Chains A and B, each alone.
Chain A
Amino acid sequence: MKAPALRKKIETSAMSRRSFLRWGALVGGSAASAGKLKRPGRGKAAGRPPAQELSSDVRIVRTGCPSHNCGGRCVLKVYVRDNKVVRIEGDDRPTDGIEDPQLRPCIRGRAYRRRQDHPDRLKYPLKRVGKRGEGRFERISWDEALDRIASEFERIKKAYGNAAFYVPYGTGSYNQVNGRQTAQRFMNLYGGSLGFYNSYSWACISAATPTVYGTGVTGNQRQDWLNAKYILMWSWNPAEMRDGTNSEYFVRKARERGARVVCIDPRMTLSAVALADEWVPIRPGTDAAMMSAMAYVMITEDLTDKDFVRTHCVGFDETQMPVGSSGAESYKDYILGRRDGVPKTPGWAEGITGVPGATIARLAREYATTKPGVLYQGYGMQRRAYGEQVVRAGCVLAAITGNVGVPGGWASGIALQAPDGGPFWLVFPTGQNPVKAVIPSFLWTEAVVRGKGMGPEDGVTGVERLETSIKCIWAVACNALINQHGNVNRTARILADEKLVEFLLVQDNFLTPTGRFADILLPVCTQFETWGLEDGWKYGDEVILMPQVVPAPFETKSDYRICADIAGRLGFEEAYTEGRDERGWTEWALDRYRRTRFPGLPTLAEMLEANRGVYSVPVTKPAVAFADFRRDPQKFPLPTPSGKIEIFSKRLHDLNKPETIPAVPKYIQEWESPFGAEAQKYPLQLVGHHYLSRVHSTLENIDWLEEAFPQRLFLNPADAAARKIRNGDPVRVWNDRGTTVVRCRVTPRIMPGVVALPQGAWWTPDAQGVDRRGSVNILSSERWTPFAFGNAQHTIMVQVAKAEGG
């Protein structure tokens, strides 16, 4: 054990605990008054001089917190001395009002210099020397690396065509001039590459929301939450995953203004503790059952907004079925059990969800009568088998209670910000992809193994059938090839086969589990070391400048520069760069923002001079999604086939897959479930929640974060006792797909029958193939959802036992 770790252990287990346990007992009182302890007469310092004297040799640069695809976008005030980051503070704009609050970073941003100065950072280009995946590399020159890449690209292009190239989903670097889009621009100029759609974050919610509303722009600006009287945080945990900087703060403010807040989640999350009046634990994957039962209560107790349903919705009951669907099962038919003989009563849902029927009924009445109200849908519950259903079910509850299009209400669904979907997410010009074939992002292993011939049944669009499998993968800021994809052991077998993917190029800051499989591994500088720009992401009308804070060390380069260099080898560097460097593109992106969405945005020179970090537009009159449609549904119809809210979707009906893609939202038992035969062997449901110590798999290796939130399996005392597991024990977690060993935390803050393993920990197999780090995707599946072709990575059944010998 290393010295600091040992010291830490001694401290936490012995000293601190010893003295802490005395809390509650009276310490020997003393009558000594405050003034008796005077400053010592000698000694050079008045107290430990803890904080560095930050004098004139320190530069201050305000910048964006490096975008690693958390949901927040925050401002960092970075102190630099001798080209080294010596301190990081947060947004220090003098005002912090509700209309434009400070963008305060969480621990991930505050701890960033531990990543910046990390000894494990990649420093030089590497080439693989062992078998693929062994993780053995040898240092090479940039010239050798670029020559090899150029020749492999040319070989593959000639042998298989451009559709054999793939630049996968990867979100480790999300600002405008860094990350995977730089490689996509390269590919588009090079003849294209196989495209993808949707994401690992919200595949189901982005596909299912438009089936109800015709659009994903279903969210009000968040300041409007202060008008809400009731907020259901359903599977939503903004304090941990940061779904928009300040979302948790807005909920706090709404609550202070009198909103009642209820959190529905299998875990008593940080948000549940800080923001909610009530926590309602629910069995994972059963939310649609509870929503259906709430609808049952609303319908049978006459609590729906009948006028709104009549004028603004279709498919609620048999009187308003879309043309061509008359006679089909309406939503009301389903809820009342008119066709299947199963009324979706609270009692029915109780057995499925584990939530007492009386609680379900009470929440239904509260939400239906305490208006306006927000039913905010988090994304965890849609990264599951049939995740489409829960999205549609939540939207329907918002609709039948008439909470759509009103201040303080909320339409549910993906909730991109009104009126225009929020700031643009990508202004960096990737250009047009000449390859028309597009796959769902989660099906890339299919496109490797059996790509040629894949078609619409696998979600392929743009072409009838794929003409080639993927032969070359270029992973930029992407650890989703191994670590974040379902079923790591399977993916590792696929990638290890050099006959399938013939060339695998990886660019990253660290040797990630994905990087272990690289043929060529390129060292990328951090976002502090180049130029960039980020916007408010899903919420927040801001643009944050990310100027270069310190020079790129060693032989690291930006993603952009690497792409430009490869383009140079292949003769189109000028077309790629258009004469701009990273700073030039940052300026270009700023101009583009100014021309499109932020007319008041200052120039680059002005922003640098002001050094505020952020340009923001205060929200004084928060926009409300669907306000026009609410006022006049004839004049402002929705972009749905019917122009109305589609409780019943004819489009889904016509797919003719009622068991998996019903036309009205239904509860469907998951393919791995506590109610299935698999539960005999694997009785516990496992969720891989977001954790404050990482953004997905980024920041995995940061000591301050691991110290604050160590990687643990969380389980309830009842499940622990049944397995003779004690708090802190190493435990083995396994199913048919794999095994991981990790220490546990026994906590009452999770419901019995459910265990939680924070997602993103790096796959660390031992000689037997057992993961030793608690990497959740050892256990998850590659199976996709029926409509969105999305990941269902939280649908996992496992068994847990105390690990022998740790």
Chain B
Amino acid sequence: MVRQYGFHFNAAACSGCKACQVACKDHNDLTGGIIWRRVYEVAGGGWEKAGGLWVPKVAAYNVSMACNHCEVVVCGLACPTKAIWKRDDGIVLIDDSRCIGCRYCEWACPYSAIRYDAATNLVSKCTFCVEEIDSGRPPACVTSCPLRALDFGDIDELRKKYGQVDRVVPLPDPEATKPALVITPHKDTAEAEKRGAEVINWEEV
């Protein structure tokens, strides 16, 4: 491995506007309901009545997530046809010509990064805009963000710059796959965890 590319996501700055999601769809021509980069709306807590008034005890933030191009490629390990592979720069790709649409990779990925298209009987996922990377340009999502909440680069560099956090509620334990992801948590993260935060926009992701 010459490097491991990864994403930085600043949850503290993300509004959930989904410019990244749509930029990804446009760049990659994703029609038919396929979404590679999704924005999860996370909320915990509720409202309490205090002295006749409704008082919010709500913690909310967003998680924008594509594929984390994990160090442990559980999707690839689950693939019976070895269609999923990892480049020297850490980017995980799917070879369409080998994919048989069995969807084991989709089951294996704890981040729901892999998307099945019934029309083609193929799975697909974020490619890190690999052709852009190979031309020395950033991925489409990163440059789309109106709040400049996304970054990319060598994961070691990103960790130096942004820290070590790679999990916020309700993401899975990163030990399972070692995602190439750094998160700047939102101020309400601890509060959300305490209040049993969950994704509240399932129909959109």
**Interface residue ranges, A against B (CB under 8 Å):** 3-5, 7-8, 10-13, 15-17, 19-20, 22-30, 32-40, 42-53, 87-90, 92, 96, 104-107, 110-111, 113, 239-240, 245-246, 248-249, 252, 268, 270-271, 273-275, 277, 279, 281, 350, 354, 356, 692, 703-705, 707-710, 716-718, 728, 745, 747-749, 751-753
Q: Are B143 and A16 in contact (CB under 8 A)?
A: no
Q: Are A692 and B93 in contact (CB under 8 A)?
A: no
CB distance from A81 to the nearest CB of B (A): 13
Q: Which of A42, A111, A274, A752 contacts B147 (CB 8 A)?
A: A274
Q: How far is the CA of A268 from the CA of B176 in the complex (A)?
A: 34
CB distance from B66 to the nearest CB of A (A): 12
Instruction: Say yes or no: is B109 at the interface (Cβ < 8 Å to chain A).
Output: yes
Q: Which residues of B contact A15 (CB under 8 A)?
A: 103, 106, 116
Q: Which of A12, A36, A716, A747 contacts B203 (CB 8 A)?
A: A12
Q: Are A26 and B173 in contact (CB under 8 A)?
A: yes
Q: How far is the CA of A246 from the CA of B145 in the complex (A)?
A: 11
Given known pairs A50-B29, A51-B27, the reply for A273 and B21 (CB within 8 Å) is no
Q: How far is the CA of A10 from the CA of B118 in the complex (A)?
A: 10
User: Please, could you name 14 A-B residue pairs with CB atoms under 8 Å apart, sorted by A?
Assistant: A7-B33, A26-B175, A27-B177, A34-B71, A37-B84, A37-B85, A42-B98, A51-B29, A248-B146, A271-B15, A275-B15, A279-B56, A281-B54, A747-B43
Q: Which residues of B contact A708 (CB under 8 A)?
A: 18, 21-22, 204
Q: Which residues of A contact B170 (CB under 8 A)?
A: 23-24
A-B interface pairs (CB < 8 A), number: 282
Q: How far is the CA of A105 from the CA of B31 in the complex (A)?
A: 20
Q: Which residues of B contact A92 (CB under 8 A)?
A: 143
A49-B96, A274-B14, A281-B54 known, 11 other contacts, Cβ within 8 Å: A13-B202, A32-B73, A40-B82, A45-B96, A47-B127, A107-B21, A110-B144, A274-B147, A354-B54, A710-B203, A718-B47
Q: Which residues of A contact B147 (CB under 8 A)?
A: 239, 248-249, 252, 274
Given known pairs A19-B106, A87-B26, A749-B60, the reply for A39 and B47 (CB within 8 Å) is no
Q: How far is the CA of A279 from the CA of B16 in the complex (A)?
A: 16
CB distance from A7 to the nearest CB of B (A): 5
Q: Which residues of A contact B106 (CB under 8 A)?
A: 15, 19
Q: Are A40 and B95 in contact (CB under 8 A)?
A: yes
Q: How far is the CA of A104 from the CA of B127 in the complex (A)?
A: 23
Q: Which residue of B lies closest to A753 (CB)?
A: B54
Q: How far is the CA of A31 from the CA of B33 in the complex (A)?
A: 34
Q: Which of B4, B95, B172 contacts A27 (CB 8 A)?
A: B172
Q: How far is the CA of A752 from the CA of B53 in the complex (A)?
A: 10
Q: Are B205 and A751 in contact (CB under 8 A)?
A: no
Q: Are A24 and B85 in contact (CB under 8 A)?
A: no
- Which residues from 63 to 113 on chain B have a C-beta closer than 8 Å to any C-beta of chain A? 71-74, 76-77, 82-87, 90, 92-98, 103, 106-112
CB distance from B20 to the nearest CB of A (A): 9
Q: Are B127 and A48 in contact (CB under 8 A)?
A: yes
Q: How far is the CA of A748 from the CA of B43 in the complex (A)?
A: 8
Q: How far is the CA of A53 from the CA of B27 in the complex (A)?
A: 11
Q: Which residues of A contact B118 (CB under 8 A)?
A: 3, 7, 10
Instruction: Say yes or no: is B115 at the interface (Cβ < 8 Å to chain A).
Output: yes
Given known pairs A25-B172, A47-B130, A350-B53, the reply for A104 and B43 (CB within 8 Å) is no
Q: Which of B15, B35, B47, B55 contacts A356 (CB 8 A)?
A: B55
CB distance from A5 to the nearest CB of B (A): 8
CB distance from B178 to the nearest CB of A (A): 8
CB distance from B98 to the nearest CB of A (A): 5
Q: Are A106 and B203 in contact (CB under 8 A)?
A: no
Q: Which residues of B contact A239 (CB under 8 A)?
A: 15, 17, 146-147
Q: How far is the CA of A51 from the CA of B134 in the complex (A)?
A: 13
Q: Which residue of A lies closest to B143 (CB)?
A: A90
Q: Are A47 and B204 in contact (CB under 8 A)?
A: no
The 10 nearest A-B residue pairs measured at CB: A47-B93, A8-B33, A274-B15, A43-B97, A239-B15, A270-B15, A27-B176, A107-B22, A110-B22, A50-B28
Instruction: Say yes or no: is B157 at the interface (Cβ < 8 Å to chain A).
Output: no
Q: How far is the CA of A96 from the CA of B177 in the complex (A)?
A: 35
Q: Which residue of A lies closest to B186 (CB)?
A: A273
Q: Are A27 and B97 in contact (CB under 8 A)?
A: no
Q: Which residue of A lies closest to B28 (CB)?
A: A50
Q: Which residues of A contact B61 (CB under 8 A)?
A: 273
Q: Which residues of A contact B77 (CB under 8 A)?
A: 30, 32, 37
Q: Which residues of A contact B144 (CB under 8 A)?
A: 89-90, 104-105, 110
Q: Which residue of A lies closest to B58 (CB)?
A: A748
Q: How far is the CA of A104 from the CA of B112 in the complex (A)?
A: 28
Q: Which of A35, A111, A717 contacts B22 (CB 8 A)?
A: A111
Q: Which residue of B lies closest to A242 (CB)?
A: B146
Q: Are A728 and B53 in contact (CB under 8 A)?
A: no
Q: Are B110 and A22 in contact (CB under 8 A)?
A: yes
Q: Which of B28, B50, B93 contacts A46 (CB 8 A)?
A: B93
Q: Which residues of A contact B50 (CB under 8 A)?
A: 356
Instruction: Say yes or no: is B182 at the interface (Cβ < 8 Å to chain A).
Output: no
Q: Which residues of B contact A104 (CB under 8 A)?
A: 19, 143-146
Q: Are B200 and A47 in contact (CB under 8 A)?
A: no
Instruction: Say yes or no: is B46 at the interface (Cβ < 8 Å to chain A).
Output: yes
Q: How far is the CA of A429 from the CA of B132 in the complex (A)?
A: 44
Given known pairs A12-B203, A16-B112, A24-B172, the reply for A34 and B23 (CB within 8 Å) is no
- Which residues from 137 to 153 on chain B have a C-beta closer than 8 Å to any C-beta of chain A? 140, 143-148
Given known pairs A270-B17, A708-B18, the reply for A47 and B45 (CB within 8 Å) is no
Q: Are A22 and B172 in contact (CB under 8 A)?
A: yes
Q: Which residues of A contact B124 (CB under 8 A)?
A: 48, 50
Q: How far is the CA of A248 from the CA of B17 in the complex (A)?
A: 11
Q: Which residues of B contact A709 (CB under 8 A)?
A: 18, 204
CB distance from A743 to the nearest CB of B (A): 9
Q: How far is the CA of A39 from the CA of B98 in the complex (A)?
A: 11
Q: How far is the CA of A96 from the CA of B138 in the complex (A)?
A: 15
Q: Which residue of A lies closest to B180 (CB)?
A: A34
Q: How far is the CA of A484 from the CA of B15 in the complex (A)?
A: 27
Q: How far is the CA of A89 from the CA of B200 in the complex (A)?
A: 29
Q: Which residue of B lies closest to A356 (CB)?
A: B53
Q: Which residue of A lies closest to B43 (CB)?
A: A748
CB distance from A702 to the nearest CB of B (A): 10
CB distance from A748 to the nearest CB of B (A): 5
Q: Which residues of A contact B71 (CB under 8 A)?
A: 33-34
Q: Are A34 and B73 in contact (CB under 8 A)?
A: yes
Q: Which residues of B contact A752 (CB under 8 A)?
A: 47, 54
Q: Which residues of A contact B111 (CB under 8 A)?
A: 23
Q: Are B97 and A44 in contact (CB under 8 A)?
A: yes
Q: How far is the CA of A122 from the CA of B200 in the complex (A)?
A: 38
Q: Which of B53, B83, B172 contacts A23 (CB 8 A)?
A: B172
Q: Are A17 and B86 in contact (CB under 8 A)?
A: no
Q: Which residue of A lies closest to B60 (CB)?
A: A273
Q: Are A273 and B172 in contact (CB under 8 A)?
A: no
CB distance from B90 to the nearest CB of A (A): 7
Q: Which residues of B contact A11 (CB under 8 A)?
A: 33, 115-116
Q: Which residues of A contact B53 (CB under 8 A)?
A: 350, 354, 356
Q: Mark B188-205, 1 if CB is under 8 A from A, else 0.
A: 000000000001111111
Q: Which of A45, A52, A350 contacts B97 (CB 8 A)?
A: A45
Q: Which residues of A contact B173 (CB under 8 A)?
A: 24-26
Given known pairs A27-B108, A748-B47, the reply for A40 and B83 (CB within 8 Å) is yes
CB distance from A347 to the nearest CB of B (A): 11
Q: Which of A30, A36, A53, A747 has the most CB of B within 10 A?
A: A30
Q: Which residues of A contact B97 (CB under 8 A)?
A: 42-45
Q: How far is the CA of A792 from the CA of B53 in the complex (A)?
A: 27
Q: Are A707 and B204 in contact (CB under 8 A)?
A: yes
Q: How far is the CA of A5 from the CA of B18 in the complex (A)?
A: 20
Q: Which of A30, A34, A110, A707 has the most CB of B within 10 A?
A: A34
Q: Which of A30, A252, A354 contacts B72 (CB 8 A)?
A: A30
Q: How far is the CA of A490 from the CA of B130 in the complex (A)?
A: 55
Q: How far is the CA of A443 from the CA of B84 in the complex (A)?
A: 63
Q: Which residues of B contact A20 (CB under 8 A)?
A: 112, 199, 202, 205
CB distance from A101 to the nearest CB of B (A): 9
